[in-house]
Structure 1
């Protein structure tokens, strides 16, 4: 990565943002949206508004980060309870689940934007996101959301580097994604399954893993661990603790995926 090019892209982003009369950011509390909000707050001041959807499908760590960051920076922030599981396509976990979910979220964002006189709504996708299967991006485009990070041609690596330069604690935070992405397509999404995944991932976080996913396969929990975390499972005492804790949640079999962590691994075969 070229640090000078990354800095130039940030300047391009600032220039684009300053042209906007006002901006709402769909703020998850993750790496990308925190970076975008931080830059937008510098560029637009009080003309920026952060909005966060909250429900049990959103990782609790991201929601906590969202609250803490906006409170620390004094940024206007609205949180609302989203109702993804009332969307039939989401509940059935169809391959285009994210399209219908994003559409519903965008409708809510537009409603809030209108009430607060906000002219533009942005989501924080980066250029790397365009290479994966992301039906939610299509929905956002159809609903008129802008993608400032893509417009500035920023990659995930550059966003992490620039976030570190800005002293944002999210710079090395793992990407979490909606918890529904842990369940295979066609397997219905229920509160019980989401709760099992959240509790299992909390166990891995407390155990010290940095990058991970727990994929739900009925009675089987398939753990995807990042490269730096893989060696932890060579310790028998560590494994036994994970097995015991996962079984207390309701899983009968706990498997370690030898391919490790892969973003969007459930999209294979689509």
Structure 2
């Protein structure tokens, strides 16, 4: 929250006093297909505390996550740690990642110097 304040980021729904539950209820009433979509944390949370957040790093994380989504992965994170992509997956997705290892490496190496897998399941 401090980073948001420092960057003068506006949070209009919060400023109106709406809670997450209020927003989901209103979205459901409006028949928005995303009303029950899992929360998606800000891309800046993928960068370690103390490491400079840049537009390029955020773009790299977003591109990598979009690619993994396109392959059918879900409930994962791609973290950017000093130029390395650190993949955090559910344990049940490890086998699928290994099956597509070369494809994933070729894509993610466009954005990162190295790609690692966190063996602790998400």
Residues 198-251 of structure 1 show CA distances to partners (whole Å, capped at 9, x for unaligned) of 11111111111111111001221101113443331231xx011000101122x1
Task: Work out whether residues 213 and 223 of structure 1, in 8 Å CA contact, stay in contact via their aligned partners in 2.
Answer: yes
Task: Work out whether residues 223 and 255 of structure 1, in 8 Å CA contact, stay in contact via their aligned partners in 2.
Answer: yes
Q: Does 1:175 align with 2:14?
A: no
Q: Does 1:188 align with 2:52?
A: yes
Aligned to 1:109: 12
Classify 1:175/1:227 alpha carbon distance in 2 versus 1 (closer, same or farther; 3 Å): farther
TM-superposed CA distance for 1:123, in Å, is 4.0
1:176 and 1:258 mapped to 2: Cα distance?
Answer: 22
2:88 and 2:101 mapped to 1: Cα distance?
Answer: 14
Give the alignment's TM-score, normalised by structure 2.
0.76
Classify 1:224/1:124 alpha carbon distance in 2 versus 1 (closer, same or farther; 3 Å): farther
Classify 1:123/1:254 alpha carbon distance in 2 versus 1 (closer, same or farther; 3 Å): farther
Q: Which runs of 4+ in 1 moved over 6 A?
A: none
Picking from 255, 259, 262, the partner of 2:116 is 255
1:228 and 1:167 mapped to 2: Cα distance?
Answer: 32
Higher helix share: 1
Aligned to 2:2: 99
Classify 1:176/1:228 alpha carbon distance in 2 versus 1 (closer, same or farther; 3 Å): farther
Task: Work out whether residues 220 and 252 of structure 1, in 8 Å CA contact, stay in contact via their aligned partners in 2.
Answer: yes
Superposition RMSD in Å: 3.1
Counting matched residue pairs gives 118
Picking from 12, 16, 20, the partner of 1:121 is 16
2:35 and 2:94 mapped to 1: Cα distance?
Answer: 22
Q: Does 1:241 align with 2:66?
A: no
Classify 1:190/1:207 alpha carbon distance in 2 versus 1 (closer, same or farther; 3 Å): same
TM-superposed CA distance for 1:178, in Å, is 0.8
Aligned to 2:95: 231
Give the alignment's TM-score, normalised by structure 1.
0.37
Which blocks of at least 5 consecutive residues in structure 1 are unaligned? 1-97, 111-119, 127-147, 150-158, 262-270
1:228 and 1:243 mapped to 2: Cα distance?
Answer: 19
